[in-house]
Amino acid sequence: MRTDAPSVSANGVATATPKPAPRRRSPALRKAFPYLLLAPALVYLLVITLYPGIFAIYQSLFVVKFLNWEWAGLGNYSSILQDREFWAALGNTALIGAISLSLQTGIALAIAYFAYRDPFIRGWRIVYLMPMLFMPSAVAFIWKLAFNDGRVISDLLGRLGLIEGNMDWLGSIPLARMTLIVADVWQWTPFLFIIFVAALQGQDQEIEEAARLDGASWPSIFWNISLPMMRPVIVVAITLRGIDITTMFTNVFVMTQGTPGGATETMSYFIYRQGFRMFNFGYASAASVLMLVLTVIIAQTVVKRAFHSGKK
């Protein structure tokens, strides 16, 4: 029997406060609990990322002719580093990626800065989201149609009187690269736009008001205040997008196949060609490993530098 007296409240009326029984877990379960929580993520990581990764590193040390694996040590790596096509692919990726990334970042920032105060932004966001929701291969096919097969864009430009006849978009190096850039910018600017709008909306409105009272014009508010405050968000967004662009494959595969003369061959397409057209699996694996290392190093330095000078 419980002996504690019922508590008496200020006005003299007795009230019984019900006490819930404390819940207990068995010690074994309590110990295992964190691991149970981690298990799904760990399994996912092992199956999807770690196993193929380790397999690629292992395979990159062999010259592979289907089932016949021949130990090559670092041979694949040394021949890749002397392969002109590899360096060309690296250069193409850097050039196309840099132009595309700066374009989409600039456009997204500009639209976001002008649009984020718009009360109808919720509605707009759905419209802007659409390109991202399409399947990448479908987008690539649409642009392939528009540029090459369907000649939609040539036709439009012709009607505007800007060009005569049909443009051969794959006929010149800059034009072929441009088609890839246009497709990528079209599909991914909205992603950056939405992130930047969220960042701008998260900024304290009073800070901008203070700047107005201090006499700042809107360009100088943007330059001195909004942009620096968005810096961490911009860095993260660019890093994510940069990794994505570095591995650009679908558009190349569907739209240009690396033509003309390899001018649009990206790293991913180079690896694909080595592996699945020429069946140099060991060579392709070695190139993938090099690319992984490169991506990680670049992403690390960018993020580190941006966040360090941002804090101080």
Q: Which residues of the chain form contacts with another protein (CB under 8 A)?
A: 204, 206-207, 209-217, 220, 224-225, 228-229, 231, 310, 312
CA–CA separation, 167 vs 176, rounded Å?
11
> What is the nearest approach in angstroms of another protein to the Cβ of residue 199?
13
Select 123 or 228, whichever has its Cβ closest to another protein.
228
Select 4 or 204, whichever has its Cβ closest to another protein.
204
> What is the nearest approach in angstroms of another protein to the Cβ of residue 208?
9
What backbone torsions phi and psi does residue 69 show, to the nearest 5 degrees? -95, 130
> What is the nearest approach in angstroms of another protein to the Cβ of residue 114?
18
Instruction: Annotate 89-135 with DSSP letters as a single string.
Output: HHHHHHHHHHHHHHHHHHHHHHHHHHHTT-TTHHHHHHHHHHHHHS-
List Cα–Cα distances, 43 to 34, 37, 47, 56, 87, in angstroms.
14, 11, 6, 19, 36
Select 70 or 214, whichever has its Cβ closest to another protein.
214
Select 225 or 299, whichever has its Cβ closest to another protein.
225
> What is the nearest approach in angstroms of another protein to the Cβ of residue 123?
21
The 3 state secondary structure assigned to 186-245 is HHHHHHHHHHHHHHHHCCCHHHHHHHHHCCCCHHHHHHHHHHHHHHHHHHHHHHHHHHHH
> What is the nearest approach in angstroms of another protein to the Cβ of residue 232?
10
Select 24 or 312, whichever has its Cβ closest to another protein.
312
> What is the nearest approach in angstroms of another protein to the Cβ of residue 117?
14
Burial (0-12, 13-18, 19+ Cβ within 10 Å), 183: buried
Select 62 or 222, whichever has its Cβ closest to another protein.
222
Select 18 or 219, whichever has its Cβ closest to another protein.
219
Q: Which residues pair with 259 in a beta bridge?
A: none
> What is the nearest approach in angstroms of another protein to the Cβ of residue 194?
23
What backbone torsions phi and psi does residue 71 show, to the nearest 5 degrees? -55, 130
Q: CB–CB of 188/181 below 8 Å?
A: no
